[in-house]
Amino acid sequence: MPVTLAAYALTTVERVKEQGSGIRDTDPSQDAQIAFLVNAASQQMMQYANREFKSILVGSQPRTFRLQRKNDGVSAFIDFGQWDAQTVTSVTAETQPTGGSNVLDATILQYQAVPVEQWEGVYTGVVVYSPTGSWGVPYAAGIQHTASVTGTWGYPSVPADVEDLCVEQVKEWLLTGYQVTSPLGIPGESDPQVAGPRHQLAWSVQQGLNRHKKLLVA
């Protein structure tokens, strides 16, 4: 089965080949390996940073999150966790069967996407003002409140430094796991691989991602 770039791929096969990979842009012999490594690097990088640099969701889509109610009975917070949103177009609080599915109104500030500065073009959560009476026995026993947030997910575009890091990571994996060394010229000897694949993020890539890294709220 041919390998293709995933929807969440942070770079392209062509970009890897043009950035010192040693593979000519007209040589398709390792395109499948490169695509496989781009997919692997992209997934690991987003997991490491807890950021959705590129979403698999297209257009405006709903996602369900934990609604973290506060003891004042009127306020709450929705943490997007590893996800990011370009836009937030609607919020429905208390979406469990006994919750009442309260559609919030942004025009009277029943919710506000944060950070309001929208650094790097994304929101990471929603502050909620929504008085509710759904505090029954299940919630007292530890059942979680939930909310549905509809919006456009992922970054508007992959940050340039993140794409650069992805390219460099793929090149490292490619050169240490798939490329071959030059032959020694001894009859009967084959070209050995440099080393086996090591699908772990390089320390330098992790350091580069640290400036984007988001801490998850428990």
- 52-93: per-residue pLDDT in tens? 999 999 999 999 999 998 877 778 999 999 999 999 999 999
pLDDT tier, 99 (very low <50, low <70, confident <90, very high otherwise): confident
- 165-174: per-residue pLDDT in tens? 999 999 999 8
Q: What is the C-alpha separation between 130 and 161, in angstroms, rounded?
A: 39
Q: What is the C-alpha separation between 107 and 160, in angstroms, rounded?
A: 35
Residue 215, pLDDT > 80, answer no
pLDDT tier, 140 (very low <50, low <70, confident <90, very high otherwise): low
Specify the pLDDT at position 138.
59
Specify the pLDDT at position 94.
85
Tell me the CB-side half-sphere exposure of residue 66, using CA atoms within 13 A.
Answer: 13
One-letter amino acid for residue 203 of the chain: W
Burial class (CB in 10 A: 0-12, 13-18, 19+), 57: middle
Residue 131, pLDDT > 90, answer no
Which pTM does this prediction carry?
0.83
* Rounded average pLDDT over 1-10: 91
Specify the pLDDT at position 151.
98
User: Checking DSSP bridges between strand 85-93 and strand 146-153, what pairing results, if any?
Assistant: antiparallel
Specify the pLDDT at position 186.
53
- 179-206: per-residue pLDDT in tens? 554 445 455 555 555 554 567 899 999 9
Residue 135, pLDDT > 70, answer no
pLDDT tier, 19 (very low <50, low <70, confident <90, very high otherwise): confident
Specify the pLDDT at position 145.
87
Residue 137, pLDDT > 80, answer no
Q: Which residues of 131-143 are buried (b: 16+ CB within 10 A; e: fewer)?
A: ebeeeeeebeeee
Compute the Cα dihedral for 10, 15, 16, 20 and give only its sign. negative
* Rounded average pLDDT over 119-133: 86
Are the C-beta atoms of 33 and 176 separated by less than 8 Å?
Answer: no
Residue 154, pLDDT > 60, answer yes
Specify the pLDDT at position 182.
47
